[in-house]
Amino acid sequence: MEKVILVGIEYQDNFKNFPESMEELQNLTETAQGVVVGELIQKRQTLDRRTLVGKGKLAELAALVESKDADMVIFNHEITARQARLIEDEVNTKVIDRVQLILDIFAMRAKSKEGQLQVELAQLNYLLPRLVGQGLTLSRLGGGIGTRGPGETKLETDRRHIRDKITAIKRELKETEEHRERSRQKRKDSSVFQIGLIGYTNAGKSTIMNLLTDTKTYAEDQLFATLDPLTKKWPLPEGLETTLTDTVGFIQDLPTQLIEAFQSTLEESRSVDLLLHVVDSTSSNRSQQEKTVIELLDDLKMNHIPVLTVYNKADLLEDEDSFVPTLYPNCLISAYKESSKDILTEAIIKQMKEMFMPFELILEAKDAYQINQMQKQVFVDDYEYIEENNTYLVKGYAPFESKWVRGEKEDELEF
């Protein structure tokens, strides 16, 4: 494992979330298989344009690198190629920033062809403006944090080659995106209710996916354990068929290169009918994490989708009864407890019924077979046979656009 020193500058733009941001940087470093051997923090009015930290702190950093025999310095701020070169000249070791660190973790996690292409696109977009003057740094091939992934062999190519590569990747991703769009449209046309899991990284989305659908999605106590989106069918106890989609987690200061590269993946969440916002109820920085996710939903134009907040990891709370939620509607669960499946399912059904409209439908006795099909598409609360006119009265809840809500004739219904 590489020995890493973290550097953070607390100034007027970041002082509110600075301690949490540094703690997160340490977690990211450990996820990238680095070990933190030192930390340097400086309080300033503004960042130094040349080296971010002042001359005195830079000398202090060089001494710390030497004393700890560190392999790398990671800044909690985005740095330019020129800044990286100037700092490297002083500290005599590799220097990367938070964005490179996150890109590196994504490179480790990408398993599907699409995921690998998306990471490569993000890496190339990050490298392109940093090619000038990188010389020595970019010639360093081999392993280590910040050099993994498909982008590493392209570091010494010229701008034109990288631009050509970006164009080719975008073209390939476009084909995948069109395939995803066809799959989404097919689900939409089939009137299947779609639910998406979103939330801060490591909040427990994949574990909830496993709990509800009995799949064996990779779920570990790691940042960005899930990178490739996964959609599974999930029939509710009443028979209504839904789909559940697990997606990549969010994080503070998510690199814009990643948001751009992962557009097609994020589209999976944009088209859902209900979002489950999974929150780590034990996190000391819970309110900031909630705020980050909500702001990203605004940025991604997903703030119109109804949200149910799922407070997870209740088993790690000292006292569940004293837990105070901040977002509504919500439920409190532990995704590792089988009993939580009923709690979460009940909360989802309640939320769905609030989104739907109540309906009543009269079916001829000869059409009673349609009730079974109807239960797969809407909530059928009750149905009874009316002997006087040989019909069935069906009551339930259905989406606003449903034919049952619009009161069309039953021979025009589609199941």
Q: Per residue in 339-396, pLDDT tens?
A: 999 999 999 999 999 999 898 888 898 888 888 888 888 899 899 999 999 999 999 9
Is residue 249 annotated as involved in ligand binding? yes
Instruction: Label residue 279 by pLDDT band (50, 70, 90).
Output: very high
Give me the mean pLDDT over the 246-252 stretch: 79
Is residue 315 annotated as involved in ligand binding? yes
Give me the mean pLDDT over the 39-53 stretch: 93
Give me the mean pLDDT over the 82-105 stretch: 92
Q: Find tokens 């899991």 and name the residue.
A: 197
Is residue 228 annotated as involved in ligand binding? yes
Is residue 164 annotated as involved in ligand binding? no
Question: What CATH number does the domain located at 192-354 have?
Answer: 3.40.50.300
Alpha helices by DSSP H, listed for 214-337, are 256-261, 263-270, 286-299
Q: What letter would DSSP give residue 145?
A: T
The answer to whether 28 and 106 have CB atoms below 8 angstroms apart is no
The answer to whether 397 and 378 have CB atoms below 8 angstroms apart is yes
Give the model's pLDDT for residue 197.
92
Is residue 334 annotated as involved in ligand binding? yes
Give the model's pLDDT for residue 137.
46
Across all residues in the chain, what is the average pLDDT?
84
Is residue 415 annotated as involved in ligand binding? no
Is residue 231 annotated as involved in ligand binding? no
Query: pLDDT (tens digit, 9 = 90+) per residue, 171-198?
Result: 988 887 777 777 767 766 667 889 999 9
Q: Is the pLDDT of residue 104 over 80?
A: yes
* Across 40-54, 212-226, 373-387, least confident range: 212-226
Is residue 133 annotated as involved in ligand binding? no
Q: Is the pLDDT of residue 258 over 90?
A: no
> What are the CA-CA distances from residue 191 to residues 219, 234, 307, 383 (Å)?
30, 14, 20, 22
Highest mean pLDDT among 13-17, 36-40, 127-131: 36-40
Is residue 312 annotated as involved in ligand binding? yes
Would you identify the CATH topology of the domain 2-106? Rossmann fold (3.40.50)
Is residue 225 annotated as involved in ligand binding? yes
Give me the mean pLDDT over the 118-142 stretch: 67
* Across 13-27, 291-305, 329-343, 397-411, least confident range: 397-411
Is residue 8 annotated as involved in ligand binding? no
The closest alpha carbon to 23, from 243, 311, 289, belongs to: 289
Q: Is the pLDDT of residue 91 over 70?
A: yes
Is residue 121 annotated as involved in ligand binding? no
Is residue 199 annotated as involved in ligand binding? yes
Is residue 330 annotated as involved in ligand binding? no
Give the model's pLDDT for residue 108.
84
Is residue 243 annotated as involved in ligand binding? no
Is residue 382 annotated as involved in ligand binding? no
pTM over 0.95: no
Is residue 89 annotated as involved in ligand binding? no
Q: Find tokens 């550097």 and name the residue.
A: 7
